[in-house]
Amino acid sequence: MSNVIFNIDGIKVEGDSNQSILQIARANGIFIPAICYLSNCSPTLACRMCMVEIDGKIQYSCKAKPKDGMEVVSKNEVIEQNRQDIMRSYDVNHPLKCGTCDKSGECELQDYTSIVGVGEQFLAAKDDYLGIKKWGKRQYDPSLCILCERCVTTCSDNIGESALKVEKLETSPNIDAYKDKVSKEVFSMWGKRTKGIISQVDDSCSECGECVSVCPVGAFIIQDFQYTSRSWELTKIPSSCTHCSANCKIEYNVKHTSIKDSSKKIYRVKNDFHFNPICGAGKYGYDFTNSKISSVNDMLSAINAFKESDTIIFNSNITNEEALILQKLKKEFGYKLVNNEAYRYKTFLDNYSSIVGKRLYSATLDDISSSDVVVTLGSFVKSENPLVKYHINKALKMNKGISLYFHPLKDLTMDQMGKNHYQINYKPEYEEEVLYLLLSLFSRVDELPSSIKKYISGNETTFNKVIKEDDKEVKLEVKSSKLLELIGSSLDFIETLTPLKDKEKITLIVGEDLYSGTHSSNLAKLIGLLEKNSIIKTMIIPSNNSIGVNLICDLSSDIGSKTIGYNCNGDFKISANDKVDANFYIPALNQQEGTVCNADLRVVPLNVAIPYNGYCLNDIANELGLYSKYTIDYTKELPKAKGFKTLEFDSLKDDYENDGTNNRGYELKNIDFKINDEVVIEKIDKELNSDNLVYLSNPILQFSEYTAKSKLLKDKAHLFVSKEFLESNGYVDGEIVEVSNNLKTVKLSLKLDKKLEGSVSYIPTYDVFSPIKELFKDYKYTNISVKRA
Amino acid sequence: MQRYDLRHLKDNYSDRMLEIVASTAISEVTIFIIDFCKNYDNVTKALELLEKNGCTIMNSLSFSEVDWTIVVKRKV
């Protein structure tokens, strides 16, 4: 990787030798047309629009790498004729349905046909009808498809599912008559296009909807959106998704509900597919607005409740500004602020920070995607934070990295990322053993505390290996660690792990499993030691805005005598969910302005997609004696000492530049934390047995009560099980069972998760009307018994 | 140039189509829109019929998920 300086159309540009000429042109504000290219993905050379002339030779700028002093011509008569013929060939037999097509008005076929000036059509080919495919929530119309393969590319390089592929058609039109009428580049591109169609690989799709996002024409659409609006009728509102801590950059598309109903409605969510692919929850779970508005009398009751209560219980699904209002109320009136998820996260982070000396963790999303090795531990990452999974996939696909995925549940979705991905399914409560293994592999063991050194060396062992040398079998003794067997792997796996020691960039991703349960303090300390004594950078995935809540609020662990439940149960319940019974209603997160702290350690803005004409927390706080006209007046007051900036809400940017430069909000400053030199790892017994284990986690597409109430993702709780679970117990998919342990008994329907293997099942958290969470204590795993209801 | 909407006839458009062609002048351009019932054979059938009855096919395109449009010019 080195810096290169060269010319594009006589303009001096600078870039990295690893980048393509197209990327450098974009970064330098030079427009080279390209349809099939997706930023930071493999070039497919499907459209060939990005052709340029380099030293008199036609090359494709999405693939060509720059050299010092190179002269690149992005347009001349030949190139422009080729581009015009490419678009002319794309226009052949393209249905004349711009009048009803969802994409009309934002269609790249319309745009480029106009930009390159296709004024007449002299190409023709026999048409055929290939039918319309309905795939889950999407629809694919091959007659509209220009086979740019952006859907295939994003599904493989961004999402990591490879659920789409180009399939060869049995018959295709003969276009030989035009061989001499267009250049060989155009003829070859057109010929390839007429022979292919997109098809879906069975059971591989998780319904992220990114194929719809990237489609330049209307070939991929969302069935629910079809015929509901023209693109130019929709008001585009930039914001951040609030379903998980990725807080992806999204754009709500809003207009009136109908001719009879002028109230605003979200019709769809779009995203910056080049730099921020999103998951299906962001794409489809947008309609969680609160339609209930509290009366003046309810407001008076709320004020009285605040005056009479001593505790506010809340979760991390709130903005930083709401958190600051709660903190100010605590300071003024002495409330105990109770937030279990944020408190668990804080305790974990405190233990980690006391070793590394920083308040927050060290890895960002870019660190993950540029890693040589990505280790994921204790995160059902595909549903905990899909954007993190996409970045792991990026490390594998674009950086030729290696992924080590440690989790008790065998998740076939992760295996879809392809080769160089290793899944190790340890038993719950064995996270410590995984960390000791990582310490033995990646850390400077000599610098570790003696007890840990001793534990690691106590587990050293050898295994015998037979190799062939000069046609003779030679027996070798290879060093390994018994820890591998303890975590369900085998001693010879060390041969895969050992070469990773020499890699230059290693990132550890830690999930929610680790900061629940009695072992969490030990685990946090071990992670701290690993980071301190190695080159490893760590990301500790927060749940929702737990980072913001922790930085802003002084949390308590004990509850007082009278409580306000802020989006939680309490003696006086305040809710942003109109489906639950509450004493007082507040706007949902897509009806509020504010900021949240995301897993990428940035403070990003939320905007109002749908106006809320009722009261919010700020109104209550004002009545109680704080004064601020708008909630976002607090944005500039977020605590600077904790890493926030004193910036006005309206000054926050939220975009990616052409070269991918992230201008979303601002980066949190990672402030110093007091180091505790004494590291004590306590001995904690394991409590679970390996039979009938269940895990508390959501399936893909679901995060909370808000995704579960949305029209397209609506669902209730199930016991998610593997095919093996169904078959070994003689159950059928959908059967009602009784799930019980010493804490609770609940009835649930079984739901087959085709991507799950093994006997461990999982139970989701998104159904607030089901008492399933009561089956669990602190840890995300427990033993249950399942019987027919 | 005239446009004829034959969608209400579904796949029984042949007689009316021929009647229209017969009523047009030489070199006159006619646009037909048919409901092809999501069966491309209906389009092929229409194109063959029009060619056999003295028309040059100027254009043939899908117009929506259920409609097809055919542009012809009468030569004889």
- If we measure between CA atoms, which residue out of A217, A232, A203, A85 comes closest to residue A151? A217
The pLDDT of residue A123: 95
Q: CA A89, CA A121: separation in Å to the nearest integer?
A: 9
Q: What is the pLDDT of residues A337-361, one digit of tens each?
A: 999 999 999 999 999 999 999 999 9
Contact indicator for A148, A50 with CB cutoff of 8 Å? no
CA angle, residues A424, A782, A511, in degrees to nearest 5: 45
Q: Which residue has the tokens 């990646």?
A: A442
A97 interfacial to chain B (CB closer than 8 Å): yes
Which residues, 6+ apart, have CB-to-CB distance to A242 below 8 Å? Answer: A317, A544, A589, A590, A596, A606, A706
Which residues, 6+ apart, have CB-to-CB distance to A744 below 8 Å? Answer: A771, A772, A774, A775
| Contact at CB, A132 and B40, closer than 8 angstroms | no
DSSP at A41: S
**Chain B interface disruption, residue of A91, A96, A103, A143, most B CBs within 10 A:** A96
How many Å separate Cα B2 from the centre of its chain? 12
Contacts B36 to A, Cβ<8 Å: 129
How many Å separate Cα A322 from the centre of its chain? 24
Angle at which helices A108-115 and A77-91 pack, to 10 degrees? 140
pTM of the model: 0.96
Q: CA A223, CA A85: separation in Å to the nearest integer?
A: 32
Determine whether A449 is exposed, middle or buried from the number of CB atoms within 10 Å of its CB (0-12, 13-18, 19+): middle
Identify each DSSP E strand in A104-151 by its residue range: 133-135, 138-140
DSSP at A158: I
A334 interfacial to chain B (CB closer than 8 Å): no
| Contact at CB, A96 and B39, closer than 8 angstroms | no
Supply A301's token pair: 């009751």
| pLDDT above 80 (res A1) | no
Contact indicator for A249, A274 with CB cutoff of 8 Å? no
Q: CA A704, CA A244: separation in Å to the nearest integer?
A: 9
**Chain B interface disruption, residue of A91, A94, A129, A227, most B CBs within 10 A:** A129
Q: What is the pLDDT of residues A599-657, one digit of tens each?
A: 999 999 999 999 999 999 999 999 999 999 999 999 999 999 999 999 999 999 999 99
Determine whether A424 is exposed, middle or buried from the number of CB atoms within 10 Å of its CB (0-12, 13-18, 19+): buried
Which residues, 6+ apart, have CB-to-CB distance to A213 below 8 Å? Answer: A154, A270, A271, A273, A277, A278, A283
CB count in 10 Å sphere of residue A385: 29
| Contact at CB, B62 and A100, closer than 8 angstroms | no
Phi, psi angle pair for A620, to nearest 5°: -65, -45
Number of residues in chain B: 76
Q: What is the mean pLDDT of chain A?
A: 96
| pLDDT above 70 (res A371) | yes
A122 interfacial to chain B (CB closer than 8 Å): no
Contacts B38 to A, Cβ<8 Å: 129, 131-132
**What is the least distance, in Å, from the CA of B60 to any CA of chain A?**
8
CA angle, residues A334, A335, A341, in degrees to nearest 5: 140
DSSP at A132: -
Which helix (H) or strand (E) covers residue A190, if one does?
helix A184-194
* Facing A143 at nearest CB: one of B39, B62, B69: B62
Q: What is the pLDDT of residues B7-45, one digit of tens each?
A: 999 999 999 999 999 999 999 999 999 999 888 899 999
The pLDDT of residue A127: 86
Cross-strand pairs, A71: A7
A259 interfacial to chain B (CB closer than 8 Å): no
Which helix (H) or strand (E) covers residue B64, if one does?
none
Q: Report the amino acid identity of residue A783.
A: N
Q: A707 to each of A273, A385, A477, how far by Cα in Å? A: 21, 14, 54
Q: What is the pLDDT of residues A213-253, one digit of tens each?
A: 999 999 999 999 999 999 999 999 999 999 999 999 999 99
Contact indicator for A775, A743 with CB cutoff of 8 Å? yes
Contacts A95 to B, Cβ<8 Å: 61-64
| pLDDT above 90 (res A682) | no
The pLDDT of residue B76: 76
| Contact at CB, A97 and B64, closer than 8 angstroms | yes
Contact indicator for A17, A65 with CB cutoff of 8 Å? yes
Q: CA A645, CA A756: separation in Å to the nearest integer?
A: 43
**What is the least distance, in Å, from the CA of A92 to any CA of chain B?**
9
The pLDDT of residue A679: 84
Share of chain A above pLDDT 90, in %: 94
Q: Scanning every residue of chain B, which has its alpha carbon at the shortest distance from the alpha carbon of A219?
A: B65
Q: Which residue has the tokens 């002048």?
A: B25
B69 interfacial to chain A (CB closer than 8 Å): yes
Contacts B63 to A, Cβ<8 Å: 95-97
- If we measure between CA atoms, which residue out of A387, A286, A317, A321 comes closest to residue A590? A286
